[in-house]
Copies of this chain bind each other. A is one copy, B any other.
Amino acid sequence: MKLQFWFEFASTYSYPAVMRIEKAAAARGVAVEWRPFLLGPLFHAQQGLKDSPFNVYPVKGAYMWRDLERVCEKHGLPFTRPHRFPQNGLNAARITLSLDQSQRGNFVKAVYQANFVHDRDISDPQILHAAARRAGVDPLEIMAALRSEEIKSQLRDETGFAADLGIFGAPTFITPDGEVFWGNDRLEDALDWAVHGTLRPGQTN
């Protein structure tokens, strides 16, 4: 049983999802497939936006920051509001694509912590280098991903594939039977659906 986990490194609500998904998935015997993509091109193509909706619509932004603070507190996750928003997650996404699935979780978590706990610039190769080291990945090997034409076009393909799946935000979870669940709030529902194919497993339908 596998759940596709689509995330964008700039996305705020992806942070609690990234930190929570492994434990929640393991508890249900579900494997996580880490799928980085870029949300910017989708926001532009689908909604004509050139910036995060949280910046374009300040009333939504103000709510999101307070809500995120509460969500993190609820789950016992450290959180510092970053000075830069949204950050450029291009480099981090490329590096992630160059990693095996088994290596991705630790690297991705380290990058989200750099952004949402330590307020670092995650487009900076030095910060990504440090994240790789913390994740037990050989930094020298993966930094090549930043210059790889193959990875570059792979990320473009993944982003196009995300659009084809009906993705318009992050985090998004896709179950084996193709159900789309959007948002950190839907993590448990998506996992339950992956296992049972319904959200009412105890009921006869």
Contact assessment for B67 and A182 in the assembled complex, using a CB-CB cutoff below 8 Å: yes
User: A56 to chain B: closest CB distance in Å?
Assistant: 8
* Contacts known (A76-B200, A200-B76); A189 close to B70, Cβ less than 8 A: yes
In chain B, what residue has the closest Cβ to A46? B59
CA distance A189 to B66 in the complex (A): 14
Cβ–Cβ contact A73 & B182, under 8 A: no
Residue of B nearest to A56 (CB): B47
Tell me whether A31 is interfacial, beta carbon within 8 Å.
no
Cα of A181 to Cα of B205 in the assembled complex, Å? 32
- Chain B's closest residue to A198 (CB) is B73
Do A74 and B189 have beta carbons less than 8 Å apart? yes
Indicate if the CB atoms of B57 and A168 lie closer than 8 Å.
yes
Beyond A67-B182, A182-B67, A185-B185, is A168–B199 a contact (Cβ under 8 Å)? no
Give, as a whole number of angstroms, the nearest-CB distance from A51 to chain B.
14
Which chain A residues have a beta carbon within 8 Å of chain B's beta carbons?
46-47, 57, 59-60, 62-63, 66-67, 70, 73-74, 76, 166, 168, 179-183, 185-186, 189, 193, 198-200, 203, 205
Q: Which 8 A-B pairs have the closest CB atoms?
A: A74-B199, A185-B185, A59-B168, A46-B59, A47-B57, A60-B168, A70-B199, A46-B57
